[in-house]
Amino acid sequence: MTQGRENPYDPYDPERPQSGDPQGTPPPPPYGQPQQPPYGQQPPYPGYPMAPMGVPGAPYGVHPGTGIPYSDKQKLVAGLLQILVPFGVGRFYIGDTGVGIAQLVVSIITCGVGCLWPVIDGILMLVQDSKDANGLMLR
């Protein structure tokens, strides 16, 4: 009463199309033609050329999520300068002199109470994706 084969996945069925492996998947394309990489395998894998390393005009690389080039300034240095020398020195380091001068003036006028602003700013620099004065991501 059934139509067709009883078990279409039977490897010993003579009517089943044969290929290179027992699961019935199609054979790989001939050598030289690109093919999908196996799941989870990283380049270089056979059949694919290597991608060029780096991006022209971005000597320190690019941010993997946004593609924005990295700055020549470091996030760790800027954050630690803000925390350890709380007079806006980290802002001067990344080239943001306007905020650096404001933090310096507030710290001097308030007799040191305003030093809390640069400390919090330094923590935020370390935690978030901060940018320098040119709009480039800190590396």
Question: Using one digit for the tens of pLDDT, what is the confidence trace for 53-80?
Answer: 556 667 788 877 777 888 899 999 999 9
Is pLDDT at 114 greater than 70 in this prediction? yes
**pLDDT beyond 60 at 133:** yes
Question: DSSP of the chain, one letter per residue?
Answer: ---S-S-TT-TT-TTSPP-SSTT-PPPPPPTTS--PPPTTPPSP-TT-PPPPSSBTTBTT-B-TTT-PBBPSS-HHHHHHHHHHSTTTHHHHHHT-HHHHHHHHHHHHHTTTGGGHHHHHHHHHHHHS--B-TTSPBP-
